[in-house]
Amino acid sequence: QVQLQESGPGLVKPSQTLSLTCTVSGGSITTNDYFWNWIRQPPGKGPEWIGNIAYSGSTYYSPSLKSRTSISRDTSKNQFTLQLTSVAPKDTALYYCARSVQGWGYRAYDYWGQGTQVTVSS
């Protein structure tokens, strides 16, 4: 059973960098064919895919967030990290990490973290 757990500050000031870590247990983030994702859901809105890091270490980002997003990993700790720069109140959301497989035109999630609330406010 794969488990994912998000961690990081719940409150970030505007213009600062949001940094979240997802710790994975029960499976390696380097296992072939799996992608490790960050998704967020602002209050009252649907989920938004932020980006992911593949088993190979390659990264993929949402075009709308690409300029502010960086996803990295620490294979020794079986963790992957999201950094979102220059945050604003619009970045307030419930942030999730999740595992997926993906191919041309699809991405299918099978395991999710419980989510962590991040509020951007001064």
Look-up of token digits 């945050």: 87
pLDDT tens per residue across span 49-87: 999 999 999 999 999 999 999 999 999 999 999 999 999
Indicate the pLDDT class of residue 105, thresholds 50, 70 and 90: confident
What pLDDT, on the 0 to 100 scale, is given for residue 103? 85
Query: What mean pLDDT comes out for the span 15-21?
Result: 98
Determine the Cα–Cα distance for residues 100 and 92; give it in Å rounded to an integer: 24
Report the C-alpha gap between 44 and 116 in whole angstroms. Answer: 16
For residues 18 and 118, what is the distance between their CA atoms, to the nearest angstrom? 8
Confidence band, pLDDT 50/70/90 cuts, at residue 100: very high
One-character DSSP codes across 87-111: --GGG-EEEEEEEEEEETTEEEEEE
